[in-house]
A and B are shown apart, each in its own frame.
Chain A
Amino acid sequence: MKNLGYLASAYTAIWLVLSFFLAKLYMRNQKLNREIDQLETRIKELESKRGSGAE
């Protein structure tokens, strides 16, 4: 088996790039969901404040 190092390098590079891309998507998704949750909580607070103010 000659040049096995090149074969291993190529396949390692492939999975590193794909893992990086997937991790980037996952982290961005987590960040967006966290921000959405925070804003939804804030909106609920503001709406309840507005509701109690109107009473």
Chain B
Amino acid sequence: MTARKLLIHAIFLALLIAVMECAILWALVIAPADREQGDVQRIFYFHLGSIWPAFLAFFYVLYGSIAYLVTRKQIFDHRAFVAGQVGLAFGSLVLITGPIWAKPTWGIWWTWDARLTSMLVLWLIFLGYVMLRDYIDDATKRERLSAILGIAGGVMVPFVYLSTRWFETQHPSPVIMGDKESGIKDPQMVNALLLALAAFSLLAIYFWRRGIELVHSDARLQALRRRTLDLEENV
């Protein structure tokens, strides 16, 4: 890693840690407790903070998959795959924190309404997308099938987002770009949400960058393996 890259990396990491600390402070201390739900509502900040980077990552998979099918350049497939992994991690957070929040507020861990079910289906699609890599040996076939699955998953994101408007659901309406009645009014709650969104978005970018570095290291390893084999045959 060059000195410039190291400096950018250090600045980014410092920014990530600072924003994350502020997000935790606002979510757990500064933002007031909800009048109806009490402190358990504080789960909301990171629950919603997780869905945002998950959706962004899944959209990136859609873009990368289309770009791969059009250009057949492996780099798009690799970037999309890493985005799929990042999206799956944040999607897992949504599916874990959701039921933990639902139990004290709705009285149930889970309900098969449109939002929750579509989110679970989306998560399963991307779980399949990530796991598919280990089951198909033919690289071209694997990349093509992954791209098709990635497009199917990416296309489903707007459906998950709009499901609370199209169907009657237990899940509340969207807070971001939602109806006038939905959303939060307290400015400190808004700050806590914005900080959580910023912190997890930066974290998602950090994960994605590290994932891309792994892809590059893996490519280098393959090239070294080929070189070693070549030398072993000729020595």
Residues in chain A within 8 A of chain B (CB atoms): 1-4, 6-7, 9-11, 13-14, 17-18, 21-22, 25, 28-29, 32-33, 35-36, 39-40, 42-43, 46-47, 49-50, 53
> How many contacts between A and B, using CB within 8 angstroms?
92
Closest 5 CB pairs of A and B: A46-B231, A3-B40, A39-B224, A3-B104, A32-B217
B71 at interface, CB cutoff 8 A: no
Task: Find chain B residues with CB under 8 A from A7 CB.
Answer: 39-40, 42-43
B186 at interface, CB cutoff 8 A: no
**Could you tell me the distance in whole angstroms from the C-beta of B228 to the nearest C-beta in chain A?**
6
B side interface size, CB within 8 A: 36
Task: Find chain A residues with CB under 8 A from B218 CB.
Answer: 32
A46 to B42 Cα, complex, angstroms: 60
- Over the window 46-66 of chain B, the binary record of Cβ atoms lying under 8 Å from chain A Cβ atoms (1 yes, 0 no) is 110010000000000000000
Task: Find chain B residues with CB under 8 A from A47 CB.
Answer: 231
**Could you tell me the distance in whole angstroms from the C-beta of A8 to the nearest C-beta in chain B?**
10
A43 to B227 Cα, complex, angstroms: 8
**Could you tell me the distance in whole angstroms from the C-beta of B96 to the nearest C-beta in chain A?**
5
* Contact of B232 (CB < 8 Å), options: A14, A18, A46: A46
Residues in chain B within 8 A of chain A (CB atoms): 28, 38-40, 42-43, 46-47, 50, 89, 92-93, 96-97, 100-101, 103-104, 203, 207, 210-211, 213-214, 217-218, 220-221, 224-225, 227-228, 231-232, 234-235
Task: Find chain B residues with CB under 8 A from A46 CB.
Answer: 228, 231-232, 235
